[in-house]
Amino acid sequence: MADHNFDLVILGSGSGGYAAALRGAQLGMSVALIERDKLGGTCLHRGCIPTKALLHSAEVADVTREAGSYGVNATFQSIDMTAVNKYRDSIIEKLYKGLTGLVASKNITFVTGEGHMTGPKTMTVNGENYTGKNVVLATGSNTRTLGIEITGRVITSDQALQMDFVPNRVAILGGGVIGVEFASIWRSFGAEVVIIEGLDRLVPNEDPAMSKVLERAYKKRGIEFKLGNRFKTVSQDDNGVTVELENGEQISAELLLVAVGRGPNATGFGFEEQGVAMDRGFVPTNDRLQTNLPGVYAVGDIVPGLQLAHRGFMHGIFVAEEIAGLKPLRIDEWGIPRVTYCEPEIASVGLTEAQAREKFGTDSVSIYEYNLAGNGKSNILGTAGVVKLVRQNNGPVVGFHMIGSRAGEQVGEAQLIVNWEATPEDVAPHLHAHPTMNEAIGEAHMALAGKPLHAHA
């Protein structure tokens, strides 16, 4: 059995793992990056990138349908899933090639195969030992299924991304991020869609103001949703799948997408056997991303918290810098920007109104909602929505929530405002280019600073 020694050994090459590898190499470490599948992980191959490519095809379909209202003569005919998938794969392939080249150019040792922790700082892959002065666990997440068998007509996002046809009618279990994104895609592609959500609103992790606008938009788009009702059973036969809800209602569809969240992929690789403390399958860390074992770090989706690719990137960079002794700034979970890429998109950062009232006291918080009806660019694009700000009285903006087409592109400024603890008065004097949707952020801050411009209330 051969032994290989490195400064840094990383298990898993998704967003968290490869970011740690790149930053570690940049800082002069010798790095081994172990991967059983493809460099890039969930985000690149089965998550962020393919879903956003499909959402872009969906947007093109919607724009084509509505072309006449913009004075453009075009007719929507149909969706060619083979061509959609070819476009999606071309994006993945290009990014995959770029990332592979980047990793190779940094002299990172890429090891192909499933790794198992066989010593506190040793991973064994295909009979070879890779020992690091430090190791990073970055094995990511899997779809949760709540005990529902994934087979035939009952699928997860993994199978949904491989489909070569548009279903006639699809049921989606879960009205969170992945559920509402697929609902958006399939509806734009022409399917009937029904979402089943156990809580009383869509996107239940967002501020309720976002759920309200999304529900109105989905109703208008003909997307059905059943709220406040959990599923009881799922059955399927040659003709379709039936979901029975706890209230006895039965929902039939051609396919059922199970989108009830993702769980950690951290068991079966020897972590526990080597003494890594686990919590319900996750690998908890301190705020320096260290596990209970010295020199063993964890990053990305296996660490309890938001399961987002950019959190993984930042975790990876943080760990490499921490090991190098650079004392990076702690990553505040609450300041991580979040985007849901359905149509209309939702962008948020910081606290919801309820969270802020709970944290600072009910009367110590002010809110302002700026309606995109007053925003020129939103009118040009034909989108409805709001910007909702939550501020601590006489203090900073602690929550930003926006819904509208392309709202995701606005989250950058919002996350600087929230993370830099800017007050509305700090933001109000700064110009926002006209006509942009970004202007709505400026307008909302001006209004909250007591000097509204294009605002009726």
Ligand X SMILES: Cc1cc2nc3c(=O)[nH]c(=O)nc-3n(C[C@H](O)[C@H](O)[C@H](O)COP(=O)(O)OP(=O)(O)OC[C@H]3O[C@@H](n4cnc5c(N)ncnc54)[C@H](O)[C@@H]3O)c2cc1C
Catalytic positions: 434
16 versus 404: smaller Cβ distance to ligand X: 16
SS3 (DSSP) at 450: coil
Please provide the distance, in angstroms rounded to a whole number, between the alpha carbons at the two ends of the chain.
73
42 versus 371: smaller Cβ distance to ligand X: 42
312 versus 350: smaller Cβ distance to ligand X: 312
SS3 (DSSP) at 417: helix
What CA–CA distance (Å, rounded) separates 14 from 194?
A: 32
What CA–CA distance (Å, rounded) separates 8 from 19?
A: 12
What CA–CA distance (Å, rounded) separates 195 from 223?
A: 8
SS3 (DSSP) at 188: helix
Helix 177-188 × helix 48-65 angle, to 10°: 40
- Sheet with 386-392: list strands edge to edge: 338-340, 345-350, 397-404, 386-392, 365-371
343 versus 353: smaller Cβ distance to ligand X: 343
139 versus 375: smaller Cβ distance to ligand X: 139
φ and ψ at residue 389, rounded to 5 degrees: -110, 145
- Sites of contact with ligand X (CB under 6 A): 11-17, 34-37, 41-43, 46-48, 51, 114-115, 138-141, 157, 178, 265, 269, 300-301, 307-310, 312, 341
139 versus 392: smaller Cβ distance to ligand X: 139
- Residue that has been written with the tokens 């920007």 in this structure: 337
What CA–CA distance (Å, rounded) separates 441 from 414?
A: 8
What CA–CA distance (Å, rounded) separates 144 from 158?
A: 12
SS3 (DSSP) at 272: coil
What CA–CA distance (Å, rounded) separates 14 from 7?
A: 19
Q: Which of 177, 203, 182 is nearest to 193 (CA)?
A: 182
User: Cβ atoms within 10 A of the Cβ of 420, count?
Assistant: 12
The encoded tokens of residue 92 equal 């993945």
4 versus 36: smaller Cβ distance to ligand X: 36
The two most distant CA atoms of the chain are separated, in Å, by 74
In whole angstroms, the minimum distance from the beta carbon of 425 to ligand X comes to 32
SS3 (DSSP) at 102: helix
Asked if residues 176 and 144 have their Cβ atoms less than 8 Å apart, the reply is no
342 versus 418: smaller Cβ distance to ligand X: 342
The encoded tokens of residue 183 equal 């609902």
Q: Which of 234, 240, 256 is nearest to 183 (CA)?
A: 256
SS3 (DSSP) at 65: helix
The encoded tokens of residue 65 equal 């349908």
SS3 (DSSP) at 29: coil
